[in-house]
Amino acid sequence: MQAPSRPLALIVLAAGAGTRMNSELPKPLHKLGCAPLLAHSIAAGAVLEPSRIIVITGNGADAVEAALADIAPEAIPIRQEPQLGTGHGVLQAASALKEFDGDVMVLYADSPFFRPETLQAMRISRDVYDVVMLGFHPADPGRYGRLVMDGDSLTRIVEFKDASAEERAIPFCNSGVLCADAATLMGLLEQVTNDNAAGEYYLTDIPGLATKAGLKATAITCDEAETIGINSRAELVAAEAQFQARRRGEMIDNGVTMQAPDSVHLALDTYIGRDAIIEPYVVFGPDVTVESGAQIRAFSHLEGCHVSAGAIIGPYARLRPGAEIGNNARVGNFVEIKQAEIAEGAKVSHLSYIGDATVGERANIGAGTVTCNYDGVMKHHTQIGADAFIGSDTMLVAPVRVGANAMTATGSIISDDVPDGALAISRAKQVNKPGLAVKLRARLKAIKAGKSKG
């Protein structure tokens, strides 16, 4: 079935205090898969192509809104002050929905696992029903709110503390996710009261009010794993494990080879192409793209980088932000690349640092090479031409250029440009002092012996 053509507004509730996290950091900003929880909720809803995104902030609003500017600059932050419940929170979006003719989807910043397919099914149900809730059948219904159904119709949601014994026996529970026509929802929210022990306005009142108004409500079902909310550090740890397992599974299904999946750590935005090979104990930080056929060898760490097709990285390599690795390039063990382009077929095989640099096609960088890019105040660029050969233990003092087909001698300190095709040698002449090593060693031993007696 195709998704409705009606416009959609996404509302993400991110105002809660999260006191059980025991943290100065607002709960929506705690990270899962290297991204704030808030980013996960927005990413799930963004698949539905909403015409506007509204984020309700409250506790830690300044920090949440600053992060939101990076996560989704187009989103509209609205503060809920004071925080008087979920219904009150959604109602704060009314000003941003004036003259909006379409549906609203309500999600939660601390519930990161809703699948796009599930949310799409809710939208499709809106073709028939005025209000659509999302329910699940937990292994332990516990104190969840119960969805009271009459066939396919949802008549009301009853909170556990208010439920009768018969209602508590209902296994169908409320996730809190809702989809409805925007105008209808805002009209129903105006009728919600705070006549409860907490004195708050609850979104869960909406199905009952809709039924009383002669509107049709329903609930569709999702897996319990999608509904997990994060309220404590322990739950965040469990959620990280769930996130990693899901992402690894998705990548393997898409044709990625992982030799030891449980040892690979992925980020929310990690992209790995088909037929790429990921060896054990690889960590992907934010903003990493690995193209098809590349190989990331064991114990490597990547963040903010792009690895092209056929490239081999590691083992024990580190790619930092701005690293651009070309087709069939090689970055070997104990090599660090930062803000540098390694062109097609180039090799940086071992024990080198290449930062703020351009390495040309098929160039070879010897072991122990360092681009000396920082003068204590500013960064400077090193350019290495195509087919250049950089001898082991070369210090390239930027800004500097080594031309195409040029070479540097082992142990050189290169501070001046090297023309195309030239060989640069910059090291002191070796001088041998006959017998001096024996004399020096004897003198040092005598000094050491004298100190031990004292």
What radius of gyration do the chain's Cα atoms show?
A: 30
For this structure, is 350 an active site residue?
Answer: yes
Residue 2 lies in a domain: no
With CA atoms as reference, report the closest residue to 219 among 166, 180, 167.
180
Last residue of one domain, picked from the residues 179, 199, 227: 227
Domain that holds residue 36: 8-227
Q: What is the pLDDT, as a whole number, of residue 64?
A: 97
Q: Per the domain annotation, does 114 fall within a domain?
A: yes
Q: What is the pLDDT along the chain (454 residues), one digit of tens a residue?
A: 566 789 999 999 999 888 999 999 999 999 999 999 999 999 999 999 999 999 999 999 999 999 999 999 999 999 999 999 999 999 999 999 998 999 999 999 999 999 999 999 999 999 999 999 999 999 999 889 999 999 999 999 998 888 899 999 999 999 999 999 999 999 999 999 988 777 889 999 999 999 999 999 999 999 999 999 999 999 999 999 999 999 999 999 999 999 999 999 999 999 999 999 999 999 999 999 999 999 999 999 999 999 999 999 999 999 999 999 999 999 999 999 999 999 999 999 999 999 999 999 999 999 999 999 999 999 999 999 999 999 999 999 999 999 999 999 999 999 999 999 999 999 888 899 999 999 999 999 999 998 877 6
Q: Are 350 and 328 in contact (CB under 8 A)?
A: no
Task: Specify which residues 134 forms β-bridges with.
Answer: 220
* C-alpha separations of 104 from 9, 47, 407 in Å: 5, 14, 64
Answer yes or no: do 246 and 206 share one domain.
Answer: no
140 with 113, same domain: the answer is yes
Q: Look up tokens 């205090």; give the residue.
A: 17
Q: Which residue, 410, 398, 426, is CA-closest to 367?
A: 410
Number of domains in the chain: 2
Q: And the tokens for 324?
A: 């651009």
3-state secondary structure the chain: CCCCCCCEEEEEEECCCCHHHCCCCCHHHCEECCEEHHHHHHHHHHCCCCCEEEEEEECEHHHHHHHHHHHCCCCEEEECCCCCCHHHHHHHHHHHHCCCCCEEEEEECCCCCCCHHHHHHHHHHCCCCCEEEEEECCCCCCCCCEEEEECCEEEEEECHHHCCHHHHCCCCEEEEEEEEEHHHHHHHHCCCCCCCCCCCCCHHHHHHHHHHCCCCEEEEEECHHHHCCCCCHHHHHHHHHHHHHHHHHHHHHCCCEECCHHHCECCCCCEECCCCEECCCCEECCCEEECCCCEECCCCEECCEEECCCCEECCCCEECCCCEECCCCEEEECCEEEEEEECCCCEEEECCEEEEEEECCCCEECCCCEEECECCCCECCEEECCCCEECCCCEEECCEEECCCCEECCCCEECCCECCCCEECCCCCCCCCCCHHHHHHHHHHHHHHHHHHC
Note whether residue 431 is domain-resident: no
User: Tell me, what CATH number does 328's domain have?
Assistant: 2.160.10.10
Give, in order, the Cα–Cα distances in Å from 211 to each of 79, 129, 156, 204, 247: 30, 11, 8, 13, 40
Q: Does 39 reside within a domain?
A: yes
372 and 271 share one domain: yes
Structural domain contains residue 392: yes
- Tell me how far the alpha carbon of residue 372 is from its chain's centroid: 31
In 3D, which of 126, 132, 94 has the Cα closest to residue 7?
126
Report the alpha-carbon distance of residue 371 to residue 15 in Å, rounded. 47
Q: Which of 308, 314, 397 is nearest to 349 (CA)?
A: 314
Residue 142 exposed, middle or buried by CB count within 10 Å (0-12, 13-18, 19+): exposed
- Mark which of 227, 257, 289 sits at the end of a domain: 227
Burial category of 130 from C-beta neighbours within 10 Å (exposed 0-12, middle 13-18, buried 19 and up): buried
Q: Clarify whether residues 191 and 205 are in a common domain.
A: yes
Instruction: Give the type of residue at 80.
Output: Q
Instruction: Quote the pLDDT of residue 273.
Output: 98
Give the C-alpha separation, 338 to 257, whole Å.
26
For residues 133 and 150, membership in a common domain is answered with yes
Rounded to two decimals, what is the model's pTM?
Answer: 0.89
Same structural domain, 216 and 263 = no
Both structure tokens of 44: 């799930």
Same domain for 194 and 289: no
Question: How confident is the model at residue 454, as a pLDDT?
Answer: 65
Q: Among 30, 265, 350, 380, which one carries the catalytic annotation? A: 350
Domain CATH for 115: 3.90.550.10
The verdict on 186 and 253 lying in the same domain is: no
Query: In this predicted structure, what is the pLDDT of residue 2?
Result: 65
Distance, C-alpha 24 to centroid of its chain: 21
Beta bridge partners of 313: 296, 331
